[in-house]
Chain A
Amino acid sequence: KAGVTQTPRYLIKTRGQQVTLSCSPISGHRSVSWYQQTPGQGLQFLFEYFSETQRNKGNFPGRFSGRQFSNSRSEMNVSTLELGDSALYLCASGGDRGIEQFFGPGTRLTVL
């Protein structure tokens, strides 16, 4: 079974731009969660999608948004990028209960 894939793996943007990251979960998994990892704040939950609906949300500003498609692939978008958005963004794939959390390789975003 293929694992979780995330694209792109690396991204460099400048302040004020927006960015879209993509995640394809493990085949058969319908839950996709997103996490941000920074040296200062550690690993923090962004949101979870299940069957194209946001099921849970963390404490991030509205600049962070996401969506999920009918094939369970998910995208997250960050608008008006700030320097502090530089981070490793990790996507996790889970079954219907969302308890399994298998992570992808991450997208490393650098904001200049």
Chain B
Amino acid sequence: AQKVTQAQTEISVVEKEDVTLDCVYETRDTTYYLFWYKQPPSGELVFLIRRNSFDEQNEISGRYSWNFQKSTSSFNFTITASQVVDSAVYFCALMDTGRRALTFGSGTRLQVQP
């Protein structure tokens, strides 16, 4: 069975601080995909990134960066110089290629204070 754990329920930071959201996953599959989504108060899930299990390269997109480590089954997300607009709930998710269904973590609520 697949499982995604986001141990941090809520994080509060002050604007311009860096923050890392942790994600640990469990799967027996050798081929899988990992995702991060942002859910602002409006409710829509905004896609941030998708990585496949064969690509362990870290990725940077503006203030966002992701660190994927298969050895520790982790896919952590860092926001550099956080802004108030980053306040949202962030979800990590896992998909195996056979089932094509996302298994979500419980989410981390990030509050960025001005």
Contact B43 A101 (CB under 8 A): no
Interface size class of B (residues with CB under 8 A): 20 to 34
Contact B99 A56 (CB under 8 A): yes
Interface size class of A (residues with CB under 8 A): 20 to 34
Interface majority SS on A: helix, strand, loop or mixed?
Answer: strand
Contact B102 A45 (CB under 8 A): yes
Confirm or deny: B64 has a beta carbon within 8 angstroms of a beta carbon on chain A. Answer: no
Residues on B lying within 8 angstroms of A by beta carbon are: 33, 35, 37, 42-47, 50, 91, 93, 95, 97, 99-107
Given B44, B97, B104, B107, which contacts A99 in the complex, CB threshold below 8 Å? B97
Can you name 7 A-B pairs with beta carbons within 8 Å?
Answer: A31-B100, A45-B103, A88-B43, A99-B100, A101-B47, A101-B102, A103-B46
- For chains A and B in complex, what number of residue pairs have CB atoms within 8 angstroms? 55
Contact with B along A100-112 (1 / 0, CB 8 A): 1111111010000
| Docked CA distance A45–B2 (Å) | 13
Contact B107 A42 (CB under 8 A): yes
Residues on A lying within 8 angstroms of B by beta carbon are: 31, 33, 35, 42-45, 48, 55-56, 58, 88, 90, 92, 94, 97-106, 108
Given A33-B102, A94-B100, A104-B44, 9 more A-B residue pairs with CB atoms under 8 Å apart are A33-B100, A35-B102, A43-B91, A45-B102, A92-B45, A97-B97, A99-B100, A101-B35, A101-B95
